[in-house]
């Protein structure tokens, strides 16, 4: 377990899947956790209870759309105003809709970029000044194996996640002199609501593509995020940590 006592973290997309696992893992380490969600009230309430039971000194839900820059700024200001600082930002919120390129709608393309890529940018920008003022902080962005290798029917998702890699490396260079580390985690196929909806034959075919012969867990990814957010990774910035069972090397 990593030590996050005295730290304040904001995790986006924290109501389910990887985001929930990250929030709980940070809470186990002693962090206070601000939890963003988009609209599923029941899932958010359940996640909040799990984070509190995991030991978070403080935990609170923040409902806002990460693609809205004003909402991102307001949420960051609220966390800092209520709790006195912000030490860790985990950009996990994202969407995915599969469709062949010939049939892809303008709205869906733009929405992928707005949520996955611009949403990540919005929050990085919102926390940059407060973190510079406190002379330190950690940002961890969730990208994807699909952003590195591409995937049929996922042009918009792949493009948005590839963009996060470039954004991560550029911002890491921008903020390094201010004591702020910026890294990314690139999960492979993880056992979440999205992959559970796949037919069994499709899940079996996925596993054949993975050298470790299993679909990952949300906890596998959360542990990687926690490492990058911790002091044990104090000399790591601009890195993309792959958590994909060897699917892409």
- Say if residue 17 is exposed, middle or buried (CB neighbours under 10 Å; 0-12, 13-18, 19+): buried
Distance in angstroms (rounded) separating the CA atoms of residues 197 and 53 = 29
In total, the chain counts a number of residues equal to 249
The question of whether 37 is a catalytic residue gets the answer no
Cβ–Cβ under 8 Å, residues 221 and 185: yes
The catalytically annotated residue of 107, 157, 189, 248 is 157
Tokens of 129: 């000044």
User: Taking Cα atoms as reference points, which of 36, 31, 113 lies closest to residue 74?
Assistant: 36
Tell me the catalytic residues: 157
């Amino acid at each position: 377990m990593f030590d996050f006592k005295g730290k304040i973290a904001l995790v986006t997309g924290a109501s389910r899947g990887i985001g929930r696992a990250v929030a709980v893992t940070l809470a186990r380490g002693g962090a206070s956790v601000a939890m963003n969600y988009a609209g599923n009230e029941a899932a958010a309430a359940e996640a909040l209870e799990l984070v509190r039971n995991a030991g978070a000194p403080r935990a609170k839900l923040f409902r806002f759309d990460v693609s809205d820059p004003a909402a991102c700024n307001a949420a960051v200001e609220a966390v800092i105003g209520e709790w006195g600082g912000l030490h860790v930002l985990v950009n996990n919120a994202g969407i995915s809709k599969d469709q062949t390129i010939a049939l892809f709608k303008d709205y869906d393309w733009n929405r992928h970029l707005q949520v996955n890529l611009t949403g990540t940018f919005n929050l990085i920008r919102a926390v940059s000044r407060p973190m510079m003022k406190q002379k330190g902080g950690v940002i961890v962005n969730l990208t994807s194996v699909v952003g590195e290798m591409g995937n049929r029917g996922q042009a918009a998702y792949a493009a948005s996640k590839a963009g996060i890699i470039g954004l991560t490396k550029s911002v890491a260079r921008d903020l390094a002199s201010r004591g702020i580390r910026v890294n990314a985690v690139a999960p492979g196929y993880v056992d979440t609501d999205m992959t559970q909806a796949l037919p069994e034959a499709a899940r079996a075919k996925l596993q054949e593509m993975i050298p470790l012969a299993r679909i990952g867990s949300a906890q596998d990814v959360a542990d990687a995020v926690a490492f990058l957010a911790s002091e044990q990774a104090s000399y790591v910035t601009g890195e993309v940590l792959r958590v994909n069972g060897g699917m892409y090397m």
